[in-house]
Structure formats: C-alpha cells, structure tokens
Amino acid sequence: MPSKGNGSRYMLTFIDDFSRKVWAYFLKEKSEAFKVFKESKTLLENQTRKKIKRLMIDNGLEFCNHQFDEFCKAKGIARHKTVVNTPQQNGVAERMNCTLLERDRCMLSNAGFGKELWAEAISTGCYLVNRSPNTSIQCKTPEEVWSGKPTDYSNLRVFGCPAYVHVNEGKLEARAKKGVFVGYPMGYKVWCPTSSKFLISRDVTFDEPALLKSKDVVLKPTIMENEKIDKKVQFEVPVQQSDEEEAIPHKDAHPEEQEVEAEPYLLARQCERREIRKPMRYVDFAYCFAVAKEVEYSEPSSYKEFISSKNATDWVSHMNEELQSLERNYTWTLVKPPNGKKIVGCKWVFKKKVDGSRPKGLRYKARLVAKGFSQVQGVNFNEVFSPVVKHTSIQVFISLVAIKDLEFEQLDVIIAFLHGDLEEQIYMKQSESFEVVGKENHVCFLKKSLYGLKQSPQQWYKKFESFMVSINFSSSNYDICVYFKKLSSGEFIYLLLYVDDMLIAASNMEEIVRLKEQLGSAFEMKDLRATKRILGMEISRDRPNRKLFLSQKEFVGKVIRHFSMEKAKIASTPLATHFKLSATMSPKSEYEK
C-alpha cells in the first residue's frame, strides 16, 4: 500500500553488522534499490571513513542485476547471496524485517491508524530499535555502538498520541494545530489530518495520557481516506526480499527490502520449537525399564527412605522381628567401642516378596546387613568363597535323576549365614534408632556371620561342610558343592548345595526324610517338597516314562516383557545369516554412541 506522503510501496533496510544499527528507506519501485544503495553507501563511507566490505543479500533481482553486479565489482564489495529458499542464511536482515513489521502493526493498531501510515510507523520502529539494547552487542544499543555516545531517551513520545504543534499563522489564528505524533526526524513529525499534511516542529505539546485513556483518537478522516484508498490499491503478490550487508572488520550497512503488504503474517516465530526426540527404538526400552522398575520396586532403599515412606509402620514390625531373630541366634553382644578397631556400619534392606500363601500375596522382608565393603582384607577377613554348585553338575544331576527315576526334593535354609561362626573380631555399629536403651554408645561385637560380611558365605559353607562330614556324607572331589553318600543298598543319596538352596535326590524316600530330619535338627530349614524350580529353571516330570523336562518359560517371558519385545515378529533361528557382525560396526565417535 502506498504510504502517506511520498506514496512508497516498498521498504529497504540496511543493517550494520557491527553495531546492528538499522536504516530504513522507502521506495516506490524496487528498481530504486540500486540508487538508494549507492547513496547510502556514499553516505556511510563518508561518515565513517570506512568501506563497505561485504554485502549479505538474498537473490532478489533488485540486487542481482547487471548494474548492481558491475557496481559491486568496481567497488570491490563481496556479496554473499543465500541459497535458494534459505532465508535463514540472511538471518540478521530477515529477523529485523520481522521485528520492524511487528512494531509497525502494533503501533498502527495502538494508535488506531490506517495502513497508509505504515512508513511512519516503520521509521519510528527503526528509531526505537536503534535505541533499544541488543543482546548481540552485549546489551548496548546500536546507536551507542555506532556513535560512541550514550543514548538519549529524553525525547521519546508515544506513537500516535495527540500532539499540538505550535504555529504562527497570524495574530488572531490559533497558536497550535492539533495532530498526531508519528515520528522523529530532526524534531517531531506530526500528521495533521485536517490539512492532510505532515508538520515537523520542535515546539510540540503532547497529550500522551489521552492515548492511554481511550482508543477513540481514531481519526475519522483518515479512516475514510483509508477506505477510499483501499479500493484503489492493487495488491501485488508479495515477494519477500531482503538483504543485508555484513562487514568483516566492522561498520557497514545492510540493504534490505520488503514489500509492506505482507499478507496474513504467519507467526512462525510464535510456534513452539518442535521437541527433538531420540528415535523411539532407542528410547522405549530405557524408559519402560525405568517405569517398570519404579512400579515393581516400591520398596524403600534406605533407612531414610523408609522413615518417610507411607507404609513405614508395616515395616517396623518386620524390623523388630528381624532384630529378635538376630538376638535369638546370639548374633552379637554389646560391648564398649574398642580402641583402634575398625567398626563396620550396618543398613536395613527392605524387600517385598511375592508369596501366594499370604493374604495380599506379598511377604515383607526386612533384613539387617553389615556394610561388608568397609572390611579390609587380611584384617577383618582373609578369604572369600561362596558355595555355588557348577552348572554342569546340576545338568548332570538332573540327568541322573531322570535316568534312575530318583526322588527329587528341595530344601531352603532360613537365615543360612547366621549359622556361620566368625573367626575374626568384627565390631558393628548399632542400627539407627534401634539402639538398646542405656547402651546407645555401645557397638555390636559380632559372633555370627551376619549378612553382608565378606566372609559370611564361607563361614556358612564351613559350618555346613562339617555337619555333612559328621553325618558321613562326602563331597565330590570335582565339585565340592555336591555331597553324596553310598547307602547300604549300594545306591546313592545326593545333596547339591547352592548357597542356601539344597537339592536332594535318592531312590528311597525314607532316606530323604531321614536326611531332612538330620538337617532340620542342625539348621532352621524350610521344606519345599518336590523340586519344582531351581535357579529360575522349571522342572516337570513324567515319571512313568522316566522323563524330566527342564525349561525357563517364565524367565524367557519375563525377559521378553522386560525388553518390550512382546509384539515382535517371531524369528525361526537365533541368528540369521544376514547378520555379519564385526567390530567395525561399533560406534567410532562419541556422537555415534
């Protein structure tokens, strides 16, 4: 739309990349761009005594014509054009257009003006932009950087406010003309609607509050005129053009051009930036994992957490139970803290176990453990060993059970480690807030191998071993966790030990019962009857046919669920031939990881 005054239809902005100062020129035709550029170049170079080194422009034909090319060659100005459809390469200028137009629209609507005053609004916008702090120049104002002088804000006025210009048109004439304030050339520029003229004057009285009070300042004649003009105006297809000049040393100007009738403006700026996510195939597992864990393990992981947890009271009874059981087993005696001895800490471990025999199906388990990691080898312990049967032994054993059709029973030792006697002197702190009244400063002198101590499994094994020897069992030379005894009938009775789990097999059920009784007299045992599962493997038998089936159905299902593979397509072989895996497929850089 042609602007009031000189009827401009285009604007051209130059931005100095060093100071970010912006100049706006208003053109009637795009072809004027070259002339304006030459003029402003001369002006800027003369004022700053520096040369324009570089010009950032887009590919608009007003900058990419023969005339322009020749001129730039002659003056040695490098031009950076943007790639087609990539305005972001001329970001400074494009962003400035956006800023200016935003201000333009805002000021016009606030003042209630028609569109024909757009050029004035843009000029004022430029004026304000040049006096506003800019982050790209360390929050100084462009004007300050350009001129080196501090910015003066004393002359700022509200755009579009009623203004009274002092005039002297005769002794009896009114001394002021009423208009609206539209800009800051040398003085103040006032649009006088009654005479359809711009007045420029220093002597202006402003009525700024009037604009704030009501929006009715709308000037009727302007609107009328506006409507008339609207009918006449032919809108051109807006072609966004802009360019910008950039100085490598500093001080330069940027031409930039824009049709002002920017059509319904797409507020791309206001759209939220799209959230960039990692591909789902990487994220889902980790996420499901985290959630699943959270859901599954709502057990307090420390004493602090326990104190603040909802079902603290549930746990307390179990903690007391545990303490009583420890006391029953004479696990420790309270003594005064010895000098120069290392005192290990302790902590509570809370666990919910699925147990079908309980109401609610859950079993709460609180266990006091020693912080064995603070033990020092050679001082608090010498050897570490855990009685774990070899896996092949289990397979062989199961095979024997099937072949010979043996009875196959399972036992579990309750608090197995507490059966072990300690050989070393170990002191442990009392459990937090469970201190014995009157002996708060005392420490526990351990007698039994408490859970968590380095030597606990070994002490348990020693105890068990000696017991087995006492009932005439011998352990295999090739797997010390396999115990067997030759019976008078020439057959064998076997016992496999996996820390606190035991498997017993014999052809004669009476022998097994006897062994169970013997074990029960020495240790607190839990009889799990016929072996159904061991180490996550499920065992089922078909005794008439002397068959035994071993599977891990449950475990496989759990793993597949865990890694969210329930909906995956089935593959018929574990690894297809098309997988040619090699170390070269490993990520090489940090980025790929």
Partner 1 sequence: MENVPYSSAVGSLMYLMMCTRPDIAQAVSVVSRYLDCPGKGHWEAVKWIFRYLKGTINAHSEFGGNGILTSYVDSDFGGDFDKRSLTGYVFTLRGCAISWKSTLQSTVALSSTEAEYMAITEAIKEVIWLKVFLGEIASLGDPIMVFCDNQSAVYLTNDRMFHERTKHIDIRYHFVRDVISKSNVLVKKISTEANSADMLTKPLPIAKFKFCSKTISICC
Query: Which residues in this chain contact partner 1 in the complex, by CB under 8 A?
Result: 278, 282-283, 285-286, 289, 391-393, 395-396, 398-403, 476-479, 482, 484, 492, 494, 535-537, 545-553, 555-557, 559-560, 562-563, 565-566, 568-577, 579-587, 592-593
**Given the complex with partner 1, which of 362 and 556 has the nearer CB atom?**
556
**Given the complex with partner 1, which of 216 and 592 has the nearer CB atom?**
592
Taking the complex as a whole, the smallest distance from the CB of residue 500 to partner 1 amounts, in Å, to 19
Edge-to-edge strand ranges of the sheet holding 525-530: 474-475, 482-486, 492-498, 501-506, 407-413, 525-530
**Gap between the Cα atoms of 412 and 414, Å rounded:** 6
Q: Do residues 464 and 379 make contact, with C-beta atoms less than 8 angstroms apart? A: no
**Given the complex with partner 1, which of 286 and 307 has the nearer CB atom?**
286
**Given the complex with partner 1, which of 307 and 530 has the nearer CB atom?**
530
Q: What does the longest C-alpha to C-alpha distance in the chain come to?
A: 144
User: What is the 3-state composition of the chain as percent helix, strand, coil, each rounded to the nearest 5?
Assistant: 35, 20, 45
**Gap between the Cα atoms of 584 and 523, Å rounded:** 55
- Both tokens assigned to 131: 């006096």
3-state SS assignment for residue 178: strand
Taking the complex as a whole, the smallest distance from the CB of residue 284 to partner 1 amounts, in Å, to 10
Residue in the block written with tokens 């442990």? 428
Residue in the block written with tokens 């909802």? 310
**Given the complex with partner 1, which of 85 and 488 has the nearer CB atom?**
488
**Given the complex with partner 1, which of 224 and 556 has the nearer CB atom?**
556
Taking the complex as a whole, the smallest distance from the CB of residue 583 to partner 1 amounts, in Å, to 7
Taking the complex as a whole, the smallest distance from the CB of residue 281 to partner 1 amounts, in Å, to 8
Packing angle, helices 91-111 and 118-129, rounded to 10: 120
**Given the complex with partner 1, which of 384 and 565 has the nearer CB atom?**
565
Taking the complex as a whole, the smallest distance from the CB of residue 270 to partner 1 amounts, in Å, to 32
- Both tokens assigned to 128: 């304000």
493 closest CA partner among 479, 478, 514, 477: 514
Residue in the block written with tokens 């009070």? 213
Beta bridge partners of 343: 427
Taking the complex as a whole, the smallest distance from the CB of residue 157 to partner 1 amounts, in Å, to 57
**Given the complex with partner 1, which of 449 and 531 has the nearer CB atom?**
531
Taking the complex as a whole, the smallest distance from the CB of residue 514 to partner 1 amounts, in Å, to 20
Taking the complex as a whole, the smallest distance from the CB of residue 590 to partner 1 amounts, in Å, to 10
Taking the complex as a whole, the smallest distance from the CB of residue 573 to partner 1 amounts, in Å, to 5
Taking the complex as a whole, the smallest distance from the CB of residue 406 to partner 1 amounts, in Å, to 11
H or E stretch at 64: none
**Given the complex with partner 1, which of 186 and 571 has the nearer CB atom?**
571
**Given the complex with partner 1, which of 73 and 293 has the nearer CB atom?**
293
371 closest CA partner among 252, 454, 435: 454
**Given the complex with partner 1, which of 266 and 276 has the nearer CB atom?**
276
**Gap between the Cα atoms of 63 and 41, Å rounded:** 14
324 closest CA partner among 411, 418, 426: 418
Taking the complex as a whole, the smallest distance from the CB of residue 464 to partner 1 amounts, in Å, to 18
**Given the complex with partner 1, which of 246 and 479 has the nearer CB atom?**
479
Compute the half-sphere exposure of residue 175: CA atoms within 13 Å on the CB side of its CA: 4
User: How many other C-beta atoms are found inside a 10 Å radius of the C-beta of residue 355?
Assistant: 13
Taking the complex as a whole, the smallest distance from the CB of residue 550 to partner 1 amounts, in Å, to 5
Query: What burial letters (b/e) apply to 108-147, b meaning 16+ CB within 10 Å?
Result: bebbbbbbbbbbbbbbbbbbbbbbeebeebeebbbbbbbe
Taking the complex as a whole, the smallest distance from the CB of residue 349 to partner 1 amounts, in Å, to 22
**Gap between the Cα atoms of 431 and 331, Å rounded:** 14
**Cα pseudo-dihedral 55, 61, 62, 65, rounded to 10:** 80
**Given the complex with partner 1, which of 46 and 392 has the nearer CB atom?**
392
**Given the complex with partner 1, which of 34 and 492 has the nearer CB atom?**
492
Taking the complex as a whole, the smallest distance from the CB of residue 277 to partner 1 amounts, in Å, to 12
DSSP per-residue letters across 366-435: EEEEE-GGG--BTTTBS--------HHHHHHHHHHHHHHT-EEEEEEETTGGGGSBP-S--EEPPPTT-P
3-state SS assignment for residue 3: coil
Q: Do residues 53 and 252 make contact, with C-beta atoms less than 8 angstroms apart? A: yes
